[in-house]
Structure 1
Amino acid sequence: MGAAASSALTGLSLPQLRLSLVLPGLAQPRAAWLGAAALGLAAAAALGAAAWSSRGPRWRRRRRRLQRRLRQVGTVAQLWIYPIKSCKGVPVNEAECTAMGLRSGHLRDRFWLIINEEGNMVTARQEPRLVLISLTCENDSLILSAAYTQDLILPIKAPTANVVRKCRVHGLGIEGRDCGDEAAQWITNFLKTQSYRLVYFEPHMRPRNSKQIQDAFRITDKVAYPDASPFLILSEASLADLNSRLEKKVKANNFRPNIVISGCGIHEEDSWNEILIGDVEMKRIMACGRCILTTVDPDTGIMNRKEPLETLRSYRQCDPSDQKIYGKSPLFGQYYVLEDPGTIKVGDPVYLLDQ
């Protein structure tokens, strides 16, 4: 009952209330009371509608989620952030899921990029030894490191005096704040091939639109320097099945997933349309077509150019109807995007949201 209705009732004693319902002479008070009650109910309805509206689409999705049946399909076994595109991954036990990928403290997934003098991205496809370079965070500083190389300490944020460079990632333009001459020289000295620079994507910069890269994505899906998607999911069962076909075993890091799932069937991740991990809801978009980068050994930085790619091609080709999308690239792992943000942890159950 609304506040106006409560006020009207307070102003009437119990005898008056009874008489107003019986005596014709009291019809006017009765009408006034009913009008006040109606106003109160209308006000309550309006407040309820406003509350519903203010909660927004995320709350409504959560309400719909509660009405669905949840079925556990696996468990989070590993979480990986790759701060610099094509460089070494950083394992974490917990990460925040944002629309543009995983975040743990100051480290964000593929928010740093190595470019050549023309501003084009450089990956392990061209420089396999990139997989030996790591970027970690310690005591509010960033640390560039690699085996047999002295570490370089960088500030968390590149100075605003540093130039903002125009870069290109898979043909699309994007900006990056230059991380300075020391970082550029460190990377150039390590690779010993040509001059390179390190840039950082700042949150106020315009991201790339995933739909311009692959039409399957939504117009709202954005990324900084990843190939196309903010999240790549792979299962331990799929990896084990691949390794059962290989002479030399490979690791999950050959495929650079963000989330590795245990406890599910082989390639079961290919069929999950929507999943729930903790309070994070994700939607599957498409499979990940694999390239020569998978043949780089993440421990040695040596590219063999054959395995595991050739074996994958023998049994993981796309349906002929999808060749316009994937061509001859074998499929391994799935691209997901965020529906509801939140935090996920190693050990979290993974639920399938029934449609």
Structure 2
Amino acid sequence: MGAAGSLLLDRLGGTRRPALSGAAWLGAAALGLGAVALGTIVWRRARPRRRRRLQQVGTVAQLWIYPVKSCKGVAVSEAECTALGLRSGHLRDRFWLVINEAGNMVTARQEPRLVLVSLTCEGDTLTLSAAYMQDLLLPIETPATNPVLKCRVHDLEIQGRDCGEAAAQWITSFLKTQPYRLVHFEPHMPPRKPHQMKDAFRPTDQIAYSDISPLLILSEASLADLNSRLEKKVKAMNFRPNIVISGCGVYAEDSWHKLLIGDVELKRVMACSRCVLTTVDPDTGVMSRKEPLETLKSYRLCDPSQQKLYGKVPLFGQYLVPENPGTIRVGDTVYLLDQ
């Protein structure tokens, strides 16, 4: 058995050693097996208790970033998902804001024609554009000498660095109602906490100038269902989603509690309650104050038990928060995480 024992030890230890006696060989074998068993136990303890199952529920059809709150969206093929929302290069979701002289936010609720204004980025230059207006070029880095203003978004204070007189005059000239200014949120500034508005959010969740959530998701199927009830069709842009999903059932997004898209986990917080902004035509900047809001009220009100959270307004789309940073791309499979 000496030769066999020597061969086995060669395989275990990787070197040729003299044959051991029967008792010594058994002791060494037991020690080796014990080490393997211990390693197995440690590995098993380090593994999660159970593997998370993935269920494919759709595909990312569109990704949208709205650099200026209430202004035109920018369609992107991929975006970095951050705690404060989507980012593509220098463009970040709702990182610019129009304010009045009192520092209060101005949106398409008050100025519907804001939806006709776009902010794009090329190289180190931002461009403000609108019909019948000369493009305004701005530096990506707002000069540090510009003042930081106190602003208010949905009753919560937040800072914004003034983008300068040229931007203020451009916005004011386009809207033709009263003096306005454009401000920019900088990453070092304290973010707003949606938990202060809705308990459904966690104290750690944060936003810049978004209404209440860093991400809004909507499905093509839900939009198609709504349009089947309307005389005049509406677009996804009426609802300003960040992520549009295809390949799922009607209102399937209502029941998605945790998603995996690319390498990003997303947690559903609550449904999005809809207001008069949805009645602004994104192509004309005209507010009807009726549709699609009136039709949504006929079949998308919350259960009476949830009125404390949602009130008596219709729900359409879902608010999510990222659990980790990562990248999301158009064409990514959307998985439902089994918890």
Q: Which TM bucket (shorter chain)?
A: 0.7 to 0.9
Partner of 1:166: 150
Q: Is residue 145 of structure 1 aligned with residue 133 of structure 2?
A: no
Number of corresponding residues = 313
**Secondary structure of residue in 2 paired with 1:215:** coil
Give the aligned residue type for 1:184.
Answer: A
Q: Find the aligned partners of 2:21 and 2:91 in 1 and give their Cα distance.
A: 70
Q: Is residue 286 of structure 1 aligned with residue 270 of structure 2?
A: yes
Q: Find the aligned partners of 1:187 and 1:348 in 2 and give their Cα distance.
A: 37
Q: Is residue 308 of structure 1 aligned with residue 292 of structure 2?
A: yes
Q: CA RMSD in A?
A: 2.3
Q: Find the aligned partners of 1:134 and 1:184 in 2 and give their Cα distance.
A: 15
Q: Find the aligned partners of 2:195 and 2:75 in 1 and give their Cα distance.
A: 29
Partner of 2:110: 126
Deviations 1:7-29 (A, max 9, x none): xxx9xx9679979969xxxxxxx
Partner of 2:84: 100
Deviations 1:73-124 (A, max 9, x none): 0000100000000111000011011111000000000011110001000000
Q: Is residue 346 of structure 1 aligned with residue 339 of structure 2?
A: no
Q: Find the aligned partners of 1:313 and 1:74 in 2 and give their Cα distance.
A: 27
**Secondary structure of residue in 2 paired with 1:67:** coil
Q: Find the aligned partners of 1:16 and 1:241 in 2 and give their Cα distance.
A: 78
| Equivalent of 1:192 in 160, 176, 180 | 176
Deviations 1:200-240 (A, max 9, x none): 11000000011001110011100000011000000000000
Q: Find the aligned partners of 2:128 and 2:55 in 1 and give their Cα distance.
A: 42
Partner of 2:58: 74
Give the aligned residue type for 2:154.
Answer: H
Partner of 1:322: 306
Q: Find the aligned partners of 1:289 and 1:70 in 2 and give their Cα distance.
A: 29
Counterparts in 2 of 1:170-181, with a 5 A limit? 170-181=154-165
Q: Find the aligned partners of 1:277 and 1:163 in 2 and give their Cα distance.
A: 39
Per the TM alignment, residue 340 of structure 1 is displaced from its structure 2 partner at its CA by 2.1
Q: Find the aligned partners of 1:114 and 1:152 in 2 and give their Cα distance.
A: 15
Partner of 1:3: none
Q: Which runs of 4+ in 1 moved over 4 A?
A: 13-22
**Secondary structure of residue in 1 paired with 2:323:** strand
Q: Which runs of 5+ in 2 are unaligned?
A: 1-12, 26-30
Identity percentage over the alignment? 74
Deviations 1:23-77 (A, max 9, x none): xxxxxxxxxxx9xx9xxx9xx99xx99xx8xxxxxxx9xx67x812211100001
Q: Is residue 272 of structure 1 aligned with residue 256 of structure 2?
A: yes
Give the aligned residue type for 2:226.
Answer: L
Q: Find the aligned partners of 2:256 and 2:314 in 1 and give their Cα distance.
A: 19
Q: Which moved more, 1:66-75 or 1:151-160?
A: 66-75
Q: Find the aligned partners of 2:166 and 2:337 in 1 and give their Cα distance.
A: 48
Q: Find the aligned partners of 1:170 and 1:17 in 2 and give their Cα distance.
A: 80
Partner of 1:333: 317
Q: Which runs of 5+ in 1 are unaligned?
A: 1-9, 23-33, 53-59
Partner of 1:155: 139
Deviations 1:291-347 (A, max 9, x none): 000000000000000000000000000000111111111000000000122111111
Counterparts in 2 of 1:104-119, with a 5 A limit? 104-119=88-103
**Secondary structure of residue in 1 paired with 2:135:** strand
Give the aligned residue type for 2:111.
Answer: E
Give the aligned residue type for 2:107.
Answer: T
**Secondary structure of residue in 2 paired with 1:325:** helix
Q: Find the aligned partners of 1:262 and 1:20 in 2 and give their Cα distance.
A: 68
Alignment TM-score, normalising by the size of structure 2: 0.87
Whose helix fraction is larger, Structure 1's or Structure 2's? Answer: 1
Counterparts in 2 of 1:248-263, with a 5 A limit? 248-263=232-247
Q: Find the aligned partners of 1:94 and 1:14 in 2 and give their Cα distance.
A: 59
Give the aligned residue type for 1:203.
Answer: P
**CA distance change for structure 1 residues 157 and 14 in 2, over 3 Å: closer, same or farther?**
same
Q: Find the aligned partners of 1:215 and 1:133 in 2 and give their Cα distance.
A: 33
